[in-house]
Structure 1
Amino acid sequence: MAIITLTTDFGEKDYFSGAVKGAIYSELPDVRIVDISHSISPFHISEASYIIKNAYQSFPKGSIHIIGIDSELTPENKHLAVLLDDHYFICANNGILSLIASEIRPAKIVEINIHDKIETNFPVLDVFVKVACHLARGGTLEVIGKSITEIKYLKQFEPLINTDKNQIIGHVLYIDNYGNVVTNISRKLFDTIGKGRDFSVSARSVSFNEIHETYSDAINFNIDKEKRGEEDGKKLAVFNSAGYIELAIYKSNPTTVGSAASLFGLENRDTITIKFE
């Protein structure tokens, strides 16, 4: 049974995500639809790519992923269907694919060309659903598009490394539901440039000289609880489950005591600097 996932910035208030699901079920009553997220910040390509990149790998090979972010068809924003890592992705050519495929080259890319057969001002509902259902039935990419080799590439989202290779300048990539601040600096890049040297991570008014493996590694459970600093909001840096450096507050609650984002004063695209000694 085919699996179709949905990732959009539609939110939960409007009818959009429900209409997309209804259109899919109308064509394929037995398909499985999985919501990855409908809470992407509007038109936030880097946020969406982070979520999709770290979610799709948990799905079976052959799964079909509809990405409804900045999907209006324009001469500068064509529609793509892509075979990548044995998964299918349907999205706009707005750079999101280059972020998802930063480490894996797509096996096949087509520019969708069925728009003349479909009258629409809601391409995710009409065009993307038609393509997804076609693929779910076992159809090929060539039937719904023309093969291309180049996609829009967003280089500005990559961390910068100085010529002496003793500094990485990254930025805030994503702020999660707990208010933790995810950077675009991967563990792989940190290890490659750092080579085991001492370091400091700085962002606005906070700095760290240790990066933990888990959140609880920052807590000394051998001392009395009231002396651990948990109640005061233990600040920490951690390699998160997606393999990126993350700045966090241990067991923070953004709606009560605050979070790393609010307490550190960090927002999307703010600078994160790592200096090696």
Structure 2
Amino acid sequence: MENLIAVITDFGTKDHYVGTLKATLYNNNNEAKVVDITHSVRPFDLVDAALKLKWSYKYFPSGTVFLIAVDPDPSAELIIISTEKYYIVTPNNGIPSLMLEEEPADSVYEIVADHYFIQGKGHFRGRNQLAPIAAQLAKFQSPFYLGDERELSIIKRFRIPSPKEIAPGKFECLVLDVDSFGNLILNMENTGKLPKKAIINGVEIITASEHFKNYKKGTCFISINPEGHYQIVAYMSAASKLLKANRGTKVILEF
């Protein structure tokens, strides 16, 4: 689908940054359709941005341009990655890593078309450099005139830790993400059955359900998040607060 741009940033919504980035997209492509995936990535957090991209890209139609404006390293070159279905406009800092495990890169271009950049407005690469390029790419569906092709090996990548089987049917996992409800999303995907038990910070959780039911408020149970990862939920409450857990907290799952 031409002219669809999906945006991930760590800008938040308090300031004018999101608004001016989107204005720049429309100034460069007034027929663009812009979807906000999230502007609430933790500041400069590459893993958080990578997860949000991995969990969202597959719901978008072919031809979508993903604009990633999370940029902790201003020395990272700006690139366009093409896959079979999509384009990613991003600093070369590893954020597409998890998406590319499922949707491999076909080509990568280092952005050189600086005549599209907004000049003389301070250091704001998301708005001044990435947004104009994403707008042009959404319109023309080709990176050929926007960058110089490079070897795929230049794409920076990282992996997230995998769960470890420490005994038969017993896995050491990590909290991968804490969503806005305080649900603890683990780094283990659904194996087709629910765990019998979770242990986190000395607390045993022995209730599991694929569906939210009328539990007593604050009851913790094991469930599956919308993207197929096991999660620990507190009914009508925040498991992260009740269990004093955050990203990186160890969790034992027993099946």
| TM-aligned CA distance change 1:33 to 1:170, over 3 Å | same
Gaps of 5+ in 1: 220-228, 253-258
List per-residue Cα deviations over 1:162-196 (Å, max 9, x = no partner).
48665433321211111111112111xx45xxxx7
Is contact 1:82–1:109 with CA below 8 Å preserved after alignment?
yes
Would the alpha carbon gap of residues 236 and 162 (structure 1) be closer, same or farther in structure 2, given more than 3 Å must change?
A: closer
Once the two structures are overlaid, the 10-residue window that deviates more, 51-60 or 124-133, is 51-60
Q: What does the per-residue CA deviation read over 1:74-127, in whole Å, with 9 as the maximum and x for residues that have no partner?
A: 1xx222211235121111222211122222312222232335874462111122
Question: Aligned ranges for residues 85-164 of structure 1 at < 5 Å?
Answer: 85-115=84-114, 118=117, 119=119, 121-145=123-147, 146-150=149-153, 151-155=155-159, 157-162=160-165
**Structure 2 residue matching 1:47: 3-state secondary structure:** helix
Q: Could you tell me how far 1:22 is from its partner in structure 2?
A: 0.9
- Residues 72 and 21 from structure 1, CA distance in 2 versus in 1: closer, same or farther, beyond 3 angstroms? farther
Which residue is equivalent to 1:256? Answer: none
SS at match of 1:269: coil
Cα offset, 1:197, TM superposition = 10
TM-score, normalised to structure 2, is 0.86
1:202 to 194, 199, 203: 199
How far off is 1:267 after superposition? 0.9
2:174 maps to 1:171: yes
| Structure exhibiting the larger radius of gyration computed from Cα positions | 1
After superposition, residues 34-113 of structure 1 pair within 5 angstroms as 34-70=35-71, 72-74=73-75, 77-113=76-112
CA distance in 2, matches of 1:265, 1:213: 23
* Identity across the alignment (%): 23
What is the one-letter code of the residue matched to 2:210? E
Aligned-partner SS, 2:44: coil
The answer for the alignment partner of 1:8 in structure 2 is 9
- Please give the TM-score of this superposition, normalised by the length of structure 1: 0.80
Is 1:273 aligned with 2:252?
yes
Contact 1:46–1:99 (8 Å) recurs in 2: no
Indicate which of 211, 219, 231 corresponds to 1:234: 219
CA RMSD after TM alignment: 2.5
When residues 2 and 14 of structure 1 are mapped into structure 2, their CA distance, relative to the original with a 3 A threshold, is same
Amino acid of the structure 2 residue aligned with 1:128: L
Amino acid at match of 2:184: V
Per-residue CA deviations over 1:132-172 (Å, capped at 9, x if unaligned) read: 122122142232222321222213x1214248665433321
| AA in 1 matched with 2:102 | E
Higher normalized helix content (fraction of residues): 1
* Structure 2 spans left out of the alignment, 5+ residues: none
How many residues end up aligned between the 2 structures?
249
Aligned with 2:173: secondary structure?
A: strand
Flag the 1:112–1:244 CA change in 2: closer, same or farther, 3 A. Answer: same
